[in-house]
Structure 1
């Protein structure tokens, strides 16, 4: 007896495997997170993220031009200020590093890339939390929303086309959407970090933004044990007017990516975070895995789970491979 059903027929050659692939990667589905730091005169390598740097304004301009040439979908900007305070004043100051960088990038490549900005206070506060801290040391949700409204207007005025709401405050999408619409920024889109988990995989990012955090963010970011809660958060953000939903991190939460993609009628993105990047780079540097295959496999798994686009530090490099 011989089998009549032979799935291997569709795996016989590279051409056959390419023809029957169910999931594909395209440069336009990749978004590059970039860091720009105030007060430096040349790019600063990030030790825990080999190949990633904190940019100057000039090196940032060069990087986003490379990204545009590669054909990726967009860039997500993170600012690292020289001076921080309790309320993150630098986040809303017109001459704050993130707003200066946004204007520079919008002028440089605003017609070729979607310019996006991180809307959160953690890089700008001297305590490292994503919001305003009250007298008892807790993050005050509603006071933080007022700061987010001001940040939204500052970033929109600077030229950001998509605001990435990553703070995980209750009601943040509605608050920001209201502020934008009230001031005439009706075309500025809101990317809701709808299901953002209190993950151990953010470690290298903390170095990248020189985080001042002591303690943790578990009172506002989600418990990694909770799957249904991710769906609840996503539904709330959808009801509040989000234009795009985000799941973060990606690889450890592919079930949540799939859940959100299954019900959402707006785009669903995922963020391949710093720890995911650094693990592959470290294993490859030790000769334990094939780096390029691992990079493509991780990104394909995120797309296969249902993400329409992926934020990844490999965006420009992978776009070059795909071309």
Structure 2
């Protein structure tokens, strides 16, 4: 129960018996149990011109009753609108085949996007399940489609592999809008191949790419030392560190000189998704893809590092 005494909010009361002063106190009850709602099926056009009917099931709970009362007047309606808008924006960018084959992945991304908005309201979404009700119209044939997808995949492979000096034999780097699109494309083939030169491990290349973004301002904002235990595809574990406690900060291979504030354990592909902003620290932790030893609040400060990368 949230009690207002002469218009001033008090510490949440209950559950149980709560004493109220007549004519002085007013109150509002807040249910902290997990609840659910359904986004009703709506007609959407996919990237390749298909028309489909899509809905979603959302489970959520209130984690901060004071914020839920103070920030939003109608929390349920605001959450439903946020979920529906996030679903619409996510599906408009994807072809029909990807929507049908990667529903769990799209649901996870929707979970992160909705939480980015609703956590400021004291509400946290625990689960999102996308439901494709029917395909009302098949995709339209587009001769330019395969060529565009192939180009984006090549750019994604180059960008995520750490090489930013040239693209397609010295062509200029794509504009920022293009890079945002590239970051959303998953590489479909392993790096390297016939005629390619040996490359450093992906995790090491990604963390090394952080160096130009380190600054005293970032150190002042984060002020913590992180150790990353990265599980490689081979099953072995490699250790890296990100020290944002002094100077302009340091990043490198091996354990940090000082005792880390937080030890983070995750797979190499999840680290790649995290640094490319395809995965958020909170969503990775909630889904079990990121394991934290230490203060969770300090671990969530990694979001400041990701904003610097953007």
Q: Is the pair's TM-score, using the shorter chain for normalization, greater than 0.5? A: no
Q: Which has the higher contact order (CA 8 A, sep 6+)?
A: 1
Calculate the TM-score normalised by the size of structure 1.
0.28
> Greater helix share, 1 or 2?
1
Which structure has more strand as a fraction of its residues? 2
Q: TM-score, normalised by structure 2?
A: 0.29
